[in-house]
Structure 1
Amino acid sequence: MLDLKTVLVVDLATASLQAVVWIFVWLAWRHLYELKFLAAGFAAIAIGLLLMILRGEQPAAWSIVLHNTVIKLGLVLLAEGLARFLGQPRYTWIGVSLLIFQILAWSVVVAVDPSNLAVRIHTSTLFTVIMMSVMSVTLLRDRTQPRLLRWITIAVLGEYMAASIVHSAIEFWFPGAPQDIAILNNRNAWYLLQGILFLIALFACLLFMVSSRLSAALREKNEALSREVLERRRLENQLNASLEAERALREEQADFMRIVSHEFRTPLAVIRNAVDMISLVGDRSRDATKERLTGIGEALDRLFSLIERFMTNDRDNVFRPESMQIAPVIADVQLHFEITGRGERLHFRTEGEATSLFADPDMLATVVINLVDNALKYSPEDQPVHIDARSAGGFIVIQVRDRGIGIPKAELHKIGRRFFRASNTKAGSGTGLGLYSSRKLLAYHGGTLGLLSNEGGGTTAVARVPLLRPAPEHALLEETMT
C-alpha cells in the first residue's frame, strides 16, 4: 500500500507544476499583473506540502501550525488573485482574519491536546468553506467571463467545500486515532486524492478564464484597430478632398489670371492703334487726334477697371450684374472695333433693344469682343462678319457669324478648351484663351456658348444669356440707382 507521503508527493508535484505554469503565463502577459497572485497561491500550497513531507514523525508544534498556515495562505492568495483578475471587490480582510484565527486555534489545540485531530479538521473546514464561498461570490458577480465557465468553476469550488464538510462530519461522528492518518486506505485518503483533482480542475478553469480574457482583449484591440483604420481613412479622404480643393482653387486662380491677362490685350490694342494713328496724322487733323485720345482714355479706363475688379483679393467684387439692355453693349463693341480700325468689316443688327436683362456689362462686352476678334482673325480680309443680338425664349442670343476657315468637325467639341487651337489655324495667330475666357465669363451669368459650322464655310458662335430676375440685394441696388 501507498503511504501518506506518496499522496503528498503527488499533491506537491501538481501544485508545483501549476505554480511554474502561472509564473510563465504572467511573464508572457505582464499587463495581467493579477496572475502573480495565482502563481504565488499555488507556490504557497506547494511549499506547505513540501514542508509537510520533510517534517519528521514527531514534528514540533510550531511546525504543524506553520505548514498548514502556509497552505491556507495559498488559498487566500488564490481568492485575492481571482478577485483582482475579475475586477471584483476584494475581501482581503476576511482572508487575513481567517489566517489569524487559524494560527491561534491550531496553536492552542496543538499545545493543549496534540492528539486531537477533530478540532484541527473542523477549523480547516471552516477556513476552506468561507474562503471558497468568497471566491464563489466573486464569480457570481462577474460578467466578463462566459456564464458556463463561471458556473463550472463554482461547481468545482462547491465540490471541494462539500468534500471538506463530509471530511469534518466523518471526523465528528467517527473520531479516529492519530495513527490512522499514516496509511493510504484509511478514511483520510479519499480527501487527499480528491484534493489533487480539485487543484487540476481549478487550474483548468483559471486557464480558460485567462484565455477568455486574452481573446476578449484581442477582439477589443481588433475593433479599436478597425475603428482607427476607418478614422484614418476618413481623415485621409478629408485631407485628399482638402488638397483637391486647394489644387482646384490654385488652378482656378491661375486660370483666372490667364484670362485677365488675355483681356488686357483688348484695351492695350486700342491704345496702340490710337498711338499709331496719332503718329501718322500728327497735327494735320485735330479732330482725328482728339478722337484717338478719347479712345486712349476709354481704353485706359477699361484697363483700370480690369485691374480694380480682377487684381484684388475680393472675388465677390468680380461679378457686378445690373439691369441693362443689350443695345448699349453692342454699341460699345462697335465703337471698340472702329477705334482699332477694324470696324469696316462688321455688320451689326440688334432686335428687342428695350428688353432688359440682369448682367455684367463689361463681362458681356468682353465676351462679344472676343467672339468678334476670333471671327476677324480667322476670316479673309474681304469677308464680312455679322453680329446679331436678339431676345428669344427667355434668353438674349448673340450670334457672331463669319466666312472664315471654319472648324474641323472632329475638333468642334474641343474648341473652347484652354490653350486648344484648331489644327487648321496658323502658328502664332492666337493663344487659345479667347473662347475659353468667353465661356468662363458667360458662366457667371448662367449662360452658354455654342459653335456651329456654317454651310459653305465659316463658323457661327452663339452666346446665350438668360433674362434672370435680380436677387433681392440686386433689386435694392437697382432701386437705389434709379
Structure 2
Amino acid sequence: MLDLKTLLLLEFCTTTLQAIAWVLVWMSWRHLYELKVIAAGFVAIALGLLLLLQRGQEASALRIVLDNMMIKIGLVLLADGMARFLGQPRCLRIGVFCLAAHLVFWVMAVALAPERLELRIHASTAFTVVMMGVMIKTLYMDRTQPPFLRWITIALLGEYIGASLLQSFLLYWYPDTFANGALLSDVNAWYFFQGHLFIVGFFICLLFMVGMRLSNDLRDRNSALAGEVAERRRLEGELSASLDAEKAAREEQRQLIRMVSHEFRTPLAGIRYASEMLEMMLKRRSEAVTKRLRSIDDAVSRMTMLIDRFLSTERQVEGVLKVEQLDIGELTQDIQRHFDQVGLGDRLHFTTIEAVSDYWADVEMLRTVIVNLIDNALKYSADDKPVEIAISARNKLLIMEVSDRGIGIPEGALSHVGRRFFRAPNTGKTAGNGLGLHTCRQLLGYHRGAVNLKARSGGGTVATVMLPMPGLVPMNDTERWEEKTA
C-alpha cells in the first residue's frame, strides 16, 4: 500500500519546483506573456497540495472546500494559459463557470451530506473531464506544434481523464471500499500517484512546446533578417546605380557648361576685338564715344569674369571665390557708374548708405546681385519712377534693400519667384528669362545670405538682401590646410 502523505509531499515538492521553473522561464522571455498564466497555474496547484498536507483527519468544511478549489483553480489557469500560448480561443469563461458550479455543489454536499463522499468525488471527476476535454480540444485545433508532441500531450490528458473516471466507477461499483473512510486515506494513494506522473509529464510537454515556439520564432526572425539583408542589398544596388547615374549627369552638366562657356567667350572675344578696332580707327572721337567704348570693354571683361567664376561647377576649389574687404562707398559708386553708362543712373536714389568697416565677401558677386536687383526694379517700373537703394548694418547683418514703384509681384507667385526660368504672370511682354533672381540667390548662397521679396506699401516691391557679418573672412595658410585635410 502506498503512503498517501509521502506521495503528497513528493507531489508538492515537484509542483513547487515546476512553479519556480515556470516563473523563471516567464521572466527570461517576457514577450511570451502567456507563460505567466501557466506559472500561476502551477503555483495554485502547489498551494493546494500544501493545504492538503497540513489538513488533519478532522478537517473543517471550509478547509475541505478551500483545499480542493485551489487545485481546481490551478487546473483552470493551466488550460487558459495553454490556449493563450497556442493562439487558440481562451477558455477562461468556461473555467470560471465550472469553478462556480463546482464550488456551489461542494458547499452543498459538505453542508447537507458530509458523509456522502462519493458526491464530491463524482463532482471533481466531472470538473476534471470538462477542463481536460477543453485542453484536448485546444491541442487538437493547434497547428503550431509538431503533431507527435500534441498527440503525446493529448494522451497524457486522456490518461488523467481515464483515471478520474475509473475512480468514480470504482466508488460506484464498490461503495464499501470508501464507506466511512476519510477523504485523504491510503485508498486514494494510487490516484495521487498517477496524478504525480501526469503533472511531471505535462510539465515536460509544456517545456517542449515553449522550446519549439522559441525555435520557430528564431527561425522566423532569421528569415525576416535574411529578407531585410536582401532588401538592403537591393536598395544598395539601386543607390549605387543612382549615384553612378548622378555622376554621369554631373559630368554631362560639366561638359555642357564648358561648351556654353566656350560659346560665350567666342562672341565676347569678337566684341572686344571690334571695340579695340573702333578705338584704333577713330582717331578723333568725342568724349561720349570714348565713354561708350570703355563701357563696352568693361562689360566684356565683366562677362568674361562671370563665365570663369559663376558658370564654373568647381566653385569650392580654392581661388574661385575672391574674398576681400567690402568698401560700401566704392561699391555704390561702381553701381552708379554702371547704370550711368547705360543712361539709367539718374533713376537711382541711394537713400541710406552706412559705412561697414569689417565685412568680407566676393565683392564682384555682391555687385552682380545688386545690379540684377536694380535692373529688375528699373525694368518693371515706369520710366519716371525712381529706384531706391539702402545699405545698412544691424543685428550683425549687412542689409541691402532695393525698393521700386513698379508692377509688383502677385501674391500667388511670390513664393515661386526666384526659381529658374520662372516669371510672374504680370510681366507681360517685358524682356526677361527668369534667371536674374535665381542667379542672385545662388551667389548669395556662397555668402550664407538670402534675399526676400515683399510688396511695398503704395505699390511696388522691396527686395531685401541679408548677409551675416563678418562674411567670408579670409583663411590663413594653416586654416586652409586644415580644411583640406579634414
Q: For this structure pair, what is the TM-score category when the shorter chain's length is used for normalisation?
A: 0.5 to 0.7
Q: Per the alignment, do residues 67 and 217 of structure 1 end up closer, same or farther by CA in structure 2, a change over 3 Å counting?
A: same
Tell me the equivalent position of 2:16: 16
Matched, 1:153 2:153: yes
Deviation at 1:95, TM superposition (A): 1.4
Aligned partners of 2:57 and 2:182 also within 8 Å: no
Aligned partners of 1:129 and 1:161 also within 8 Å: yes
Q: Matches of 1:170 and 1:46 in 2, distance apart?
A: 27
Tell me the equivalent position of 1:107: 107
Deviation at 1:274, TM superposition (A): 5.7
Q: Matches of 2:60 and 2:3 in 1, distance apart?
A: 21
1:70-469 equivalent positions in 2, closer than 5 A: 70-175=70-175, 176=177, 177-179=179-181, 184=186, 186=187, 188-268=188-268, 270=270
Aligned partners of 1:40 and 1:77 also within 8 Å: yes
Write the letter of the residue equivalent to 2:81: G
Q: Matches of 1:170 and 1:282 in 2, distance apart?
A: 140
Identity of aligned residues (%): 56
Q: Secondary structure of the equivalent of 2:30? A: coil
Deviation at 1:198, TM superposition (A): 0.3
Q: Secondary structure of the equivalent of 1:208? A: helix
Q: Matches of 1:256 and 1:74 in 2, distance apart?
A: 82
Q: Which consecutive unaligned segments of at least 5 residues does structure 2 have?
A: 284-299, 312-486
Q: Secondary structure of the equivalent of 2:143? A: coil
Tell me the equivalent position of 1:56: 56
Q: Matches of 1:105 and 1:280 in 2, distance apart?
A: 129
Q: Which consecutive unaligned segments of at least 5 residues does structure 1 have?
A: 284-299, 312-482
Aligned partners of 1:3 and 1:182 also within 8 Å: no
Matched, 1:47 2:47: yes
Superposed CA deviations along residues 307-339 of structure 1, whole A, max 9, x for unmatched, are 9xxx9xxxxxxxxxxxxxxxxxxxxxxxxxxxx
Write the letter of the residue equivalent to 2:238: Q
Deviation at 1:55, TM superposition (A): 1.3
Q: Matches of 1:264 and 1:57 in 2, distance apart?
A: 116
Q: Matches of 1:246 and 1:97 in 2, distance apart?
A: 71
Q: Matches of 2:277 and 2:185 in 1, distance apart?
A: 137
Q: Matches of 1:6 and 1:182 in 2, distance apart?
A: 12
Deviation at 1:109, TM superposition (A): 2.1
Deviation at 1:54, TM superposition (A): 0.5
Deviation at 1:245, TM superposition (A): 2.2
Deviation at 1:24, TM superposition (A): 0.8
Task: Tell me which structure has the larger Cα radius of gyration.
Answer: 1
Deviation at 1:231, TM superposition (A): 2.3
Q: Matches of 2:242 and 2:155 in 1, distance apart?
A: 61
Deviation at 1:262, TM superposition (A): 3.2
Deviation at 1:72, TM superposition (A): 0.6
Tell me the equivalent position of 1:325: none
Deviation at 1:125, TM superposition (A): 0.7
Tell me the equivalent position of 2:34: 34
Q: Matches of 1:204 and 1:178 in 2, distance apart?
A: 38
Deviation at 1:189, TM superposition (A): 2.1
Q: Matches of 2:23 and 2:190 in 1, distance apart?
A: 30
Q: Per the alignment, do residues 178 and 233 of structure 1 end up closer, same or farther by CA in structure 2, a change over 3 Å counting?
A: farther
Aligned partners of 2:76 and 2:95 also within 8 Å: yes
Q: Matches of 2:21 and 2:171 in 1, distance apart?
A: 35
Q: Per the alignment, do residues 22 and 281 of structure 1 end up closer, same or farther by CA in structure 2, a change over 3 Å counting?
A: same
Q: Matches of 1:253 and 1:123 in 2, distance apart?
A: 90
Aligned partners of 1:4 and 1:181 also within 8 Å: no
* Superposition TM-score, scaled by structure 2 size: 0.55
Aligned partners of 1:2 and 1:183 also within 8 Å: no
Aligned partners of 2:41 and 2:73 also within 8 Å: yes
Deviation at 1:33, TM superposition (A): 1.1
Tell me the equivalent position of 1:388: none
Deviation at 1:224, TM superposition (A): 1.8
Matched residue pairs, number? Answer: 290
Q: Matches of 2:270 and 2:108 in 1, distance apart?
A: 124
Q: Matches of 2:185 and 2:83 in 1, distance apart?
A: 38
Deviation at 1:31, TM superposition (A): 1.4
Q: Secondary structure of the equivalent of 1:99? A: helix
Deviation at 1:153, TM superposition (A): 1.1
Q: Secondary structure of the equivalent of 2:261? A: helix
Write the letter of the residue equivalent to 2:46: A
Q: Matches of 2:213 and 2:141 in 1, distance apart?
A: 16
Deviation at 1:68, TM superposition (A): 0.4
Deviation at 1:162, TM superposition (A): 0.7
Q: Matches of 2:221 and 2:243 in 1, distance apart?
A: 32
Write the letter of the residue equivalent to 1:159: E
Deviation at 1:212, TM superposition (A): 1.4
Superposed CA deviations along residues 200-259 of structure 1, whole A, max 9, x for unmatched, are 111111111111111111122222222222222222332333233223222221222223
Write the letter of the residue equivalent to 1:89: P
Tell me the equivalent position of 1:480: none
